[in-house]
Amino acid sequence: MIDKERYFKYLSKHYKESKGTYNQYRRCFENYILKCDEIDQDNIDLFFDIFKSNVQNRAFIKSLIKCYRINTFIDIPKSFTRQKKKLIRYFKLEDIKILRKRLPKRLRLAIRLGWNTGLRISELVNSKKSDYNFKKRTIKGTGKGNKEFKIIFSEKLSNELKEYFETIKGDYPFHYPKVKFKEKKFGYEFKKHCARLGYENVHFHMVRHGLGRYLRKYKGWDIELVRKRLRHESISTTQIYASAEQEDANDKMEELFGGKHNEKN
């Protein structure tokens, strides 16, 4: 649960002289806690999906991160421009196939591991070589809320990871050397190399979103199974993938209403 009083005290302290901003951020906060129960990438993405990425909402999220001192890397989407660019909220299987062939090896293996397991960026970047069991094809670690996890991945990926680990020094296979902020650096490199392939303004968490949607829509997984696979604390966080199905249905109906069949009638 999010401590409301803490945020309201933060607003009173920093925006005491600006009533407009104070009231604006307070309204945004009420919207946030209405749909989200934690301050993390999953819930922030959900917030932007519902309330859109505008200047007001992005500024509010930044204030939220400062107030609660969130140390993990959070990717905040940029504003929508007048140019018609294809902005994506998750990776599809066809995107994953392209990226896992054309990204640099470290990122290529990271995206395959993310698609296999649904790892968060912090869990991936902070994983050690000793966390991987190539015989059992599992990775273990400590996730959100200090909860331990153990997730299985494919045999093919197991062989490729083992090969890769033998070629690198150090205990952390997804660290960039001589960098203080490991997650931020990884996120920057991922975004930069994806942009070169035509994927603008993306972040690693979209792999996790894509996996959830893929399991729900194309593999027919029950929403509770998806929750367990992605290790969501609350089923309400996983409901975003159920909502996505409704969006698909609406799109199909729009095609029907605007199609030739409708014009003839």
Q: What is the per-residue burial (b if ≥16 Cβ within 10 Å, else e) of 124-134?
A: bbbbeeebbee
Q: 100 and 61 in one domain? A: no
- Is residue 223 located within the same domain as residue 101? yes
Of 115, 83, 85, nearest to 98 by C-alpha is 115
Asked if 122 and 73 touch (Cβ cutoff 8 Å), the reply is: yes
Residue 253 domain-assigned (yes or no): no
The answer to whether residues 142 and 181 belong to one domain is yes
Residue 156 belongs to some domain of the structure: yes
Residue 178, domain member (yes or no): yes
Q: How many whole angstroms from its chain centre is CA 24? A: 26
CA distance 91 to 130: 29
What is the per-residue pLDDT for 122?
94
**Tokens 């690693």 found at:** 204
CATH number, domain containing residue 209: 1.10.443.10
In the chain, how many domains are there? 2
Return the pLDDT at 191. 93
Residue 138 and residue 117 in contact, taking contact as beta carbons nearer than 8 Å: no
Q: Are 49 and 8 in the same domain? A: yes
Domain shared by 46 and 171, yes or no: no
Last residue of a domain, one of 32, 67, 102: 67
Q: In what order do the strands lie in the sheet with 138-142?
A: 132-133, 138-142, 148-152
Residue 112 lies in a domain: yes
**Looking at the domain assignment, is residue 248 inside a domain?**
no
pLDDT of residue 49: 78
* 47-93 tens-digit pLDDT: 887 787 788 899 999 999 999 998 888 888 776 544 444 455 789 99
What pLDDT is attached to residue 217? 87
Are 58 and 117 found together in one domain?
A: no
Q: The domain containing residue 23 runs over which residues?
A: 4-67
Q: Which residues of the chain have pLDDT under 70?
A: 79-88, 242-265
Spell out where the chain has E strands: 132-133, 138-142, 148-152
- Same-domain pairing of 144 and 194: yes
Specify the pLDDT at position 255: 60
